[in-house]
Chains A and B, each alone.
Chain A
Amino acid sequence: MLKRRIIPCLDIKNGRTVKGINFEGLRDAGDPVELALRYIQEGADELVFLDISATEEKRATLISLVERIAKHVTIPFTVGGGINSVAAVSDILKAGADKIAINSSAVKNPLLIKELAETYGSQCVVIAIDSKNLNGIDTVFISGGKIETPLETLAWAQKAVELGVGEILLTSMDRDGTKIGFDIPLLQKICSMVSVPVIASGGAGTIDHFTEIFQQTKATGGLAASIFHFGEIAIPDLKETLKTKNIPIR
């Protein structure tokens, strides 16, 4: 049986892992490759690297990091953050990433999805969607959650699938950083209406939150960052507990 995936997300700035602390700022959290290898050892099923520096000048730093990750990492990994052209995608895939995640650039130019899917195959194109509930309407935000768009989350997810994305990384901005649990109603809605895997992100604070998301929605993966970085949840404990709940886990 296909397993549900546990996915640690690493935020990258200038080639280093960073951790946000109480919204006050970013702390250097070391070498992304070392952290990645620790997660693999602990049983992570996949990794996501999100480049938050993501400017054109920093692209070269990112590419050389991706090359280094690919040399050492023995499981699939996705790279995202400020990717806005076929050329940038080409560089990142050539450097060894298995998938790329696009967000704002796809909202601004939806045909980029089609072009990427046709060039590289849907299996390596992930759409990252940041969603916030505004007066009862799930609304897509871009530019790291700073800019509201007129897009409704479900409609945008469906459009992205139609254009060729192979996976959706859905972050609930309402839950992100709260540790009160994944946004189950949002995940239920999106998972039941699209034909590609959906990764749940935003809100995980306890092992029970992962149990809930896998028992109550069809999300194929659960993504989290700080709870893994700060050791609040150990991946081996998480996976063992999920297994005892009869959730298919590697």
Chain B
Amino acid sequence: MIAILKYNAGNIRSVQNALDRLGYDAVITNDPSVLNTSEKIIIPGVGEASSAMRYLKEHKLDVLIPQLEQPVLGICLGLQLLCSYSEEGDTDCLGVFDNKVLKFPETDLVPHMGWNHFREINGSLGKSISPLENMYFVHSFYAEIGIYTQAICEYIVPFSATLEKNNFYATQFHPEKSASIGEQILKNFLAL
């Protein structure tokens, strides 16, 4: 069973629909016992960092998530929550990845919204994905590049498009909204 983390973020349904199209059953839950026994966990998210972290703390999920041992995929805000800190709401995050999340300088339109390709893409999520492929992004904050960065996208500044560390994986873009190439990213995660 795949678990989709339930918290105060939007876009949860889209992830469930995408998994359904790929033939996977998914349960939306914040129940620690269900999360612990799930085969894989997805942390989706369109939302705001500080209120999301507050929710996770209230449900003691801030302690549970970093200790998970099965494959975990953070999407968009999910990626940012797995980082150490976000400028959005001056928020200490889960700290799985040591990257900091910063606001885009407003020298161009913010949010970064639309389809963009990669400067490079590696790692397990990037398997059989060309850097010229486009993914759908919607975000005003970005994770800096660090040792866990496996894909780099550039908008105003170069930033982490995917992160991978042990059993933790994350995408800044929305694979569930990125047509067939996004489905390939999800398949790469589901095949782990």
Interface residues of A (CB under 8 A from B): 1-3, 5, 40, 45, 70-72, 74-76, 93-96, 98, 120-124, 166-167, 195-197, 220-221, 250
CA distance A45 to B18 in the complex (A): 17
- Cβ–Cβ < 8 Å partners of A166 in chain B: 111, 113
Contact of A74 (CB < 8 Å), options: B18, B48, B138, B154: B18
Tell me the count of chain B residues lying within 8 A, CB to CB, of chain A.
Answer: 35
Q: Are A96 and B13 in contact (CB under 8 A)?
A: yes
- Cβ–Cβ < 8 Å partners of A3 in chain B: 114-116, 134
Q: Are B179 and A98 in contact (CB under 8 A)?
A: no
CB-CB nearest in chain B for A93: B10
- Cβ–Cβ < 8 Å partners of A2 in chain B: 112, 114-116, 155
Q: Are A197 and B109 in contact (CB under 8 A)?
A: yes
- Cβ–Cβ < 8 Å partners of B176 in chain A: 74
New contact pairs (20) apart from A3-B115, A45-B114, A74-B179, CB-CB < 8 Å: A3-B134, A5-B115, A70-B17, A71-B17, A74-B18, A74-B176, A74-B180, A75-B177, A76-B136, A76-B174, A76-B177, A96-B17, A98-B177, A121-B48, A123-B138, A124-B10, A195-B109, A197-B113, A220-B113, A250-B134
Contact of A70 (CB < 8 Å), options: B13, B115, B174, B182: B13
- Interface SS majority for chain B: mixed
CB-CB nearest in chain A for B138: A123
CA distance A74 to B183 in the complex (A): 9
CB-CB nearest in chain B for A98: B177
- Cβ–Cβ < 8 Å partners of A197 in chain B: 109, 113-114
Q: Are B109 and A196 in contact (CB under 8 A)?
A: yes
CA distance A90 to B149 in the complex (A): 35
Known A123-B138, A195-B106; contact A74-B177, beta-carbon cutoff 8 A: yes
Answer whether residue B14 sits at the interface, using C-beta atoms and an 8 A cutoff: yes
**Complex A-B: 27 CB contacts under 8 Å:** A2-B114, A3-B115, A5-B114, A5-B115, A71-B17, A71-B20, A74-B21, A74-B178, A74-B182, A75-B136, A75-B178, A75-B179, A93-B10, A98-B11, A98-B14, A121-B46, A121-B47, A121-B48, A123-B111, A123-B138, A123-B140, A195-B110, A197-B113, A220-B113, A220-B114, A221-B114, A250-B134
Q: Are A1 and B116 in contact (CB under 8 A)?
A: yes
Q: Are A124 and B46 in contact (CB under 8 A)?
A: yes
CA distance A23 to B59 in the complex (A): 56
CA distance A70 to B14 in the complex (A): 7
Question: Nearest Cβ distance between residue A229 and chain B, in whole angstroms?
Answer: 21
- Cβ–Cβ < 8 Å partners of B46 in chain A: 121, 123-124
CA distance A70 to B174 in the complex (A): 14
- Cβ–Cβ < 8 Å partners of A221 in chain B: 114
- Cβ–Cβ < 8 Å partners of B117 in chain A: 1
Q: Are B10 and A45 in contact (CB under 8 A)?
A: no
CA distance A196 to B111 in the complex (A): 8
CB-CB nearest in chain A for B183: A74
- Cβ–Cβ < 8 Å partners of A195 in chain B: 106, 109-110
- Cβ–Cβ < 8 Å partners of A250 in chain B: 115, 134
CA distance A76 to B14 in the complex (A): 10
Q: Which of B19-69 contact A (CB under 8 A)?
A: 20-21, 46-48
Question: Nearest Cβ distance between residue A217 and chain B, in whole angstroms?
Answer: 13
Question: Nearest Cβ distance between residue A65 and chain B, in whole angstroms?
Answer: 14
Q: Which of B103-160 contact A (CB under 8 A)?
A: 106, 109-117, 134, 136, 138, 140, 154-155
- Cβ–Cβ < 8 Å partners of A96 in chain B: 13-14, 17
CB-CB nearest in chain A for B137: A2
- Cβ–Cβ < 8 Å partners of B115 in chain A: 2-3, 5, 45, 250
Which residue of B20, B47, B116, B155 has the most chain A CB atoms within 10 A of its CB atom? B116
- Cβ–Cβ < 8 Å partners of B174 in chain A: 76
- Cβ–Cβ < 8 Å partners of A5 in chain B: 114-115
- Cβ–Cβ < 8 Å partners of A1 in chain B: 116-117, 154
